[in-house]
Structures are given as structure tokens and as C-alpha cells.
Structure 1
Amino acid sequence: MIYTVTFNPSLDYIVSVEDFQLGMTNRTDSELLLPGGKGINVSTVLKNLGIENTALGFTAGFTGNEIRRKVEEIGVKADFIQIREGVSRINLKLKSIDGTEINGQGPDIGKEKVEELLSRLDGLREGDVLVLAGSIPASMPDDIYKNIMKRLTGKGIMIAVDATRDLLVNVLEYHPFLIKPNNHELGEIFDAEIKTREEVIPYARKLQEMGACNVLVSMAGEGAVLAASDGSCHMAPAPKGNLVNAVGAGDSMVAGFLAGWMEKKDYVHAFHMGIAAGSASAFSEYLAKREEIEAVYQTI
């Protein structure tokens, strides 16, 4: 079974405003209200590819109830821990101005709730897959990813981590199966500016030297790079298509890679599935469906 963890899930209110003006009343041209958070996005694309999985994390209040309802509506098993106080966040994403969003804070998560999650993770068995994705609320310890991986060491669980800076670097000693920084996040780790696929390779290798098994680096319009645990390195340009909505493209890449690996245990296939899923979501209004991913895969 695949499990994803989203520590701070959200309701994503994705809107388009044709001529947005500051200080004025603006009216939307289109609206979407969807369950959000990187782990939930991974769960959604996995389900779209026909892979059953369970979404873990924390929810609170009426927005938390709606997140749970929408996740179950997609067909993903929702096993969220309910927080009694506060509400899960609402994130406003202005689709017509690329990259513009306002993200909420989310509820405070107490130590007892963190322990409850850890107890659930203790139930994972050999052969299971765990995806740790996204930021954590300010109320949680900043070494939570590291503590989870330390706790699960030796149990034969394949772990993928999609996080930034210290959250990512601190888990490397526990040898995650997959990490997926983008080129900007990779540059932040090493205080470098990385613009080309070729420039990615030495830094991806450094992350492997620090403990990562497979390093998948997304580069938006420049494509992607995979430094694989068998010593091979793969590069590919971005598939051609019209960018519609970049929200969740990186999460889709993680889902596609895992789906491809589980299908054939082949790095080239997994890499291409990751690129196809990420690009198909970028070309879609929402996270890509299976047929959209397969169509892009054929072009790689």
C-alpha cells in the first residue's frame, strides 16, 4: 500500500480573474474548490493512474471535514487525524497571474496528535511506500520528517520525500528512495544558480553522496533530470504543450515516477512516467487523468 502524509492540507480555491486590479472589486471568470496539499496531490494522481492509496495527515473544523469529503470523493482513502481546535486552511490561488497565491496558516498540532500519527505509521509493513511531501505547520517540530524516517529505518519501507532545505537535507542520512527538489530548491541547498540540465548533475550526485538513493529534479520548461541509484543519469527536455495550471505539477511528477517504478522497476520508464504526469497536470485545469498522462508519455 502507498501512504501519503500531508501535515497541513488545505482547500484550494483556484480562481481566474481576467483583468485583476489591486484596490478594486474583482470578479472571477472561473472557480475550482479542491483538496490541496502536496501529499493529497500525489494521492490524487496515483488514484488517477489506478493505484490505491491512503492519505494521512491532520484536519480541523468545517474546512477539514470538506477536505476529507473531497479526498474520499476522488476515491482515495482518507485517514486524517482530527484536530479539535482551529480550522484547516484555505489557499487562494490566482490562476490568471501565474504563481500568485495566498496560503493560510492551518491549525496548531499538539504533541499528542503528532504521536498519534507516528503510531499509525508504525503500522506500515515491509513493501509499503510512504510519501512525505510539503511544508509543516509552525507548531510542529522541524525535524519531524527526520524522526519519521529514523523510526521506520529497517522496516523495508520505500520512502519518497518532497520537501525543501533542512526538511529535505536532514533526512538524507536515512537513505530515502526518492527525493524531488526542483532546480531552484537544489540551488538553495548548495548556494548555487542552476539553469541547465547539465548543471544539475553534479549537485544531484552530491545529494546521493549525502544519502539519497534517487534524485529527481524538476526544471519546469527546461525538463527534468534523474540521478538514479544504479549510477545512471537521465535527462529529458520538457514535453511541448500549453501551460494551463502549474499547481501540483511537481507532486504529479512524484506520483508518476512511483507509479512507473512500481509497474516495471525500470528507471527510464519511471523517469518518463514522472515527466509525463508532471507535464500532463501542467497542461490541464487540474491534476492529470490517466489518459492525459499516457498521451504525453507517448511524446517523450
Structure 2
Amino acid sequence: MIYTVTFNPSLDYIVSVPDFTLGLTNRTSHEMILPGGKGINVSMVLKNLGVDNTALGFIAGFTGEKVRQELEKLGIKNAFIQLDDGFTRINVKLASTEGTEINGIGPTISKSHQEKLLQQLDTLKKGDALILAGSIPQSLDDDIYSNILERLKEKDITIVVDATKELLVKVLKYHPFLVKPNVFELGEIFDTEIKTKAEIAHYAKELQKLGARNVLVSMAGDGALLLEETGAILTAKAPEGTLVNSVGSGDSMVAGFLSGWFKKKDLRHAFSMGVAAGSASAFSQYLATEEEILAMNEIVKGKVEEGYENSRLN
């Protein structure tokens, strides 16, 4: 079984606002309210690809209950822990204004509730997979991910981490199967601005030296780079298309990669599926369907190359 953990889930209010202008009343042309959070996005795309999984994490208040209800409508298993106080955050995503979001803070998670999650994770067994994805509420220490992996280190579990800064760096000593920073996040870890693919490869290798087994770096319109455990490098240019909504494209990449990996246990196929899923979601109104992802993979798999050209990023 694949398990996703989302410490800070949300209700995402996704709106299109043509000609958005600061200081004026803006009206939407299209809007959706959907469950969100990186781990939940991974769960939804995995489900779209026919991969059974269970969503874990914390919910609170009426917004948290809405998240649960929406996932159940989609047929996604969940075992969320209900918090006593506060409410699951609401995130506003301006789909028509690239990268513009207003994200809520999230509720306080007590030590006793954290322990309940750890007890859930204690039940994972050999062959299971665990995806730790996204930010954490301010009430948690930035070693929560590493605490989880310390607890699970004797289990034969496939671990994937999609997080930033110290959340990611602190887990590397536990040798996660896959980490997936984007270019900005990779540069942030090493306090540098990455401008070329050679620099991406260099800093991906630095993450590998710290313990990561496979490093998948998303490069937005430039595609993606995979540094394999063997040291081999794969790259793929992004397919051509019109960006409709960048929300969840990185999470879709993680889901596509895992779907491909568990189907064939082949990193090239997993990489192609990851890039296809990320691109398909970016070109869709919301998270891509299986049909969209498989169609995109027919394009992407022909773009996968070994090594990389030392070119500048767009």
C-alpha cells in the first residue's frame, strides 16, 4: 500500500480572474473548491492512475470535514486524525495569474496528535511506500519528517520526500528512495541561484552525497532532470503546451513517477511518467486524468535523454 502524509491539508479555492488588478474589485470567470495539500494531490493523481493509496494527516473543523468528504467522493481511502481545535486552512489560488497564491497557516497539532500519527505509521510493513510531502504548520518542529524516518528506519519501505529546506535536508541521512525539489528549492538549500543544467546536476549530486538515493528536479518549462542512484542522469524537455494551472504539477510529477516505478521498476519509465503527469496537470484545469497523462507520456518518452546539455535555464 502507498501512504501519503499531508500535515497541512487545505481546501483550495481555485479561481480564474481575467485581467486581475490590485486595488480594484475583481470578479472570477471560473472557480472550484477542491481538497488540497501536496500529499493529498499525490493521492488524487495516484487514484486517477488507478493506484490504490491511503491519505494520512490532520484535519480540523468544518473545512477539514469537507476535505474528508471530497476525498471519499473520489474513492480515496483516508485515515485522517481529527484535531480538537482550529480549522483546516483555506488556500486561494489564482489560476489565471501564474504562481499567485494566498495560503492559510493551518491549525495547531499537539504532541498527543503527533503521536497518533506515528502509531499509524508503525503499522506500515515491508513493501509499502510512504510519501511525505509539503509544508508543516508552525506548531511543528522542522525535524518532524526526520523523526518519522528515524522511527521507520528498520522497515523495508519505499520513502519519497517532497519538501523544502531543513525538512528535506534532515531526512537525507535515512537514504530516502526519492527526493523531488524544484530548481528554486534546490538552490535555496545551498544558498545559491541555479542558472544552468550543469549546476542542477552538481547540486543534485550534493543531495546524493548527503544520502538521497534518487534526485528528481523539476525545472518548470525546461522539463526535469533525474539523478539516478547509479550516478546516471536523465533529462527530458517539457512538452509544448499552454500553461493553464501550475497548482499541483509538481505533486503530479511525484505521483506519475511512483506509478511508473511500481508498474515496471524501471527508472526511465518512471521518469517519463513523472514528467508526463506534471505536464498534463499544468496543461489542465486541475489535476490530470489517466487518459491525459498516458497521452502525454507518448510524447515525453521520446524526449528522455541520457546526460544533459550544459545550457542555461529559460
Q: Could you state the TM-score of these two structures normalised by the residue count of structure 2?
A: 0.94
The residue aligned with 2:279 is: 279
The residue aligned with 1:234 is: 234
The residue aligned with 1:37 is: 37
Q: How far did 1:239 drift?
A: 1.0
The alignment partner of 1:58 has SS state of: strand
The residue aligned with 1:114 is: 114
The residue aligned with 1:194 is: 194
The alignment partner of 2:24 has SS state of: coil
Q: How far did 1:10 drift?
A: 0.3
Instruction: Give the Cα–Cα distance (whole angstroms) in 2 for the partners of residues 267 and 4 of structure 1.
Output: 21
Give 1:129-168 correspondences, 5 Å limit. 129-168=129-168
Instruction: Give the Cα–Cα distance (whole angstroms) in 2 for the partners of residues 212 and 63 of structure 1.
Output: 35
Q: How far did 1:71 drift?
A: 1.1
Q: How far did 1:189 drift?
A: 1.2
Instruction: Give the Cα–Cα distance (whole angstroms) in 1 for the partners of residues 290 and 87 of structure 2.
Output: 33
The residue aligned with 2:13 is: 13
Contact 2:145 2:171 in 1 (8 A): yes
Instruction: Give the Cα–Cα distance (whole angstroms) in 2 for the partners of residues 22 and 201 of structure 1.
Output: 39
Contact 1:6 1:37 in 2 (8 A): yes
What amino acid sits opposite 1:56 in the alignment?
L
Q: How far did 1:199 drift?
A: 2.4
State the percentage of identical aligned residues. 65
Instruction: Give the Cα–Cα distance (whole angstroms) in 1 for the partners of residues 7 and 109 of structure 2.
Output: 9
The residue aligned with 1:84 is: 84
The residue aligned with 1:93 is: 93
Cα shift readout 1:223-274 (whole Å, capped 9, x = no counterpart): 1000011221101111111110000000000001111110111110000000
The residue aligned with 1:50 is: 50
What amino acid sits opposite 2:84 in the alignment?
R
Q: Could you state the TM-score of these two structures normalised by the residue count of structure 1?
A: 0.98
Contact 1:60 1:88 in 2 (8 A): yes
Instruction: Give the Cα–Cα distance (whole angstroms) in 1 for the partners of residues 214 and 207 of structure 2.
Output: 9
The alignment partner of 2:34 has SS state of: strand
Cα shift readout 1:148-198 (whole Å, capped 9, x = no counterpart): 001000210111000001100000000000000001111111122223333
Contact 1:197 1:223 in 2 (8 A): no
The residue aligned with 2:181 is: 181
What amino acid sits opposite 1:42 in the alignment?
V
Cα shift readout 1:194-215 (whole Å, capped 9, x = no counterpart): 2333321111111111100000
The unaligned stretches of length 5 or more in structure 2 are 301-314
RMSD: 0.9
Contact 2:96 2:245 in 1 (8 A): no
Instruction: Give the Cα–Cα distance (whole angstroms) in 2 for the partners of residues 47 and 24 of structure 1.
Output: 40
Instruction: Give the Cα–Cα distance (whole angstroms) in 1 for the partners of residues 11 and 267 of structure 2.
Output: 34
Q: How far did 1:106 drift?
A: 1.2
Contact 1:6 1:58 in 2 (8 A): yes
The residue aligned with 1:257 is: 257
Instruction: Give the Cα–Cα distance (whole angstroms) in 2 for the partners of residues 141 and 191 of structure 1.
Output: 21
